[in-house]
Amino acid sequence: MIKKTLLLMMLFLACTATKAQDLINPSYGFSHSKTAYITLADGTEISGTIRDIDRDKGLIEFIKLQDAAGKKHKLKPEDIKFMYLPPSGLDNLTKKIDFGTDFQKWNDDKLNQEYIKEGYAYFETADVQVKKKTSKLLMQLLNPAFSKEFKIYCDPHAKETTSLGVGGIKFVGGDAKSYYVAKKDAPAFLLKKKEYKKEFATLWSGCDKLITASSADPKWTDLSKHAVTYSECAQ
């Protein structure tokens, strides 16, 4: 059983290496021993270890952090501008990525790419349209290596296609069937796999070469590639 588990882990690492320029798998569990880095809404920077994270409907409701001096902080989403959290245990195996140089020009300059390469999950406060209301929510960014023009956020309620696991432990997650997406600084909105073809031309308006090449049969699994092509058009 142990050998089978190790074999699957090795297979998983090989798969993530070939998907180095794809979306990062979202993190749900975080280390309580490694350092987390948080920048508050007023620009104050805090680093320390996570003591607790509470969620409401999949979204972070508050995070408790203890800094190096032993001071405890309880932060709500509205207190945070952005943060880098270290995934825990096996979850961390999905995060260490060596992004190709082709994507560097699409980096968002404010992101610390070294943290991202080390496997940290990046969250930022963003305007998100939920039905007819726009709210500020703490969202996990899944394309930090090429998010300058188009951002893809985790949908904590997204269903998945398939997954690979053993003994009740999931090593490789399936493709999410929905994400929150945003152009530049526009509010993020929910994009669903089943609606991608219908929304394709509107979503990528302004990038004729992408629409011409892919609108006839857009593939949901090519969303990240489409985001990069759109970024090229936006320059």
Considering the domain boundaries, does residue 118 fall inside one? yes
Considering the domain boundaries, does residue 18 fall inside one? yes
Considering the domain boundaries, does residue 234 fall inside one? no
What's residue 64's pLDDT? Answer: 97
DSSP 8-state symbol, 19? T
3-state DSSP helix/strand/coil % of the chain, to nearest 5: 30, 35, 35
What's residue 107's pLDDT? Answer: 62
Considering the domain boundaries, does residue 101 fall inside one? yes
What's residue 91's pLDDT? Answer: 59
What's residue 108's pLDDT? Answer: 66
Considering the domain boundaries, does residue 7 fall inside one? yes
- Identify the CA nearest to 164 among candidates 113, 102, 94, 230: 94
73-79 long-range Cβ contacts below 8 angstroms, 24+ apart: 73/46, 73/48, 75/38, 75/40, 77/125, 77/136, 77/137, 77/138, 78/41, 78/125, 78/136, 79/40, 79/41
d(CA 172, CA 10): 11
Considering the domain boundaries, does residue 64 fall inside one? yes
User: What number is the average pLDDT over the span 51-57?
Assistant: 90
Considering the domain boundaries, does residue 184 fall inside one? yes
Q: Could you report the per-residue pLDDT of 66-101, keeping only the tens digit for each? A: 999 999 999 999 999 999 999 987 555 555 454 444
DSSP notation for 37-67: EEEETTS-EEEEEEEEEEEETTEEEEEEEEE
104 is in which domain, residue-wise?
2-195
Q: Residue 154 — φ and ψ, nearest 5°?
A: -65, 135
DSSP-assigned beta bridge partners for residue 72: 66
Does the pLDDT of residue 9 top 70, yes or no? no
**Which residue has 């493709």 as its token pair?**
175
Considering the domain boundaries, does residue 164 fall inside one? yes
Q: Full-prediction pTM beyond 0.85?
A: no
DSSP 8-state symbol, 148? S
Q: Could you report the per-residue pLDDT of 176-224, keeping only the tens digit for each? A: 999 999 998 899 999 999 999 999 999 999 999 999 999 999 999 999 9
Does the pLDDT of residue 17 top 50, yes or no? no
What's residue 235's pLDDT? Answer: 72
Token pair listed for 201: 């031309």
DSSP 8-state symbol, 210? H
Structural domains in the chain (count): 1
8 Å CB contact between 199 and 191: yes
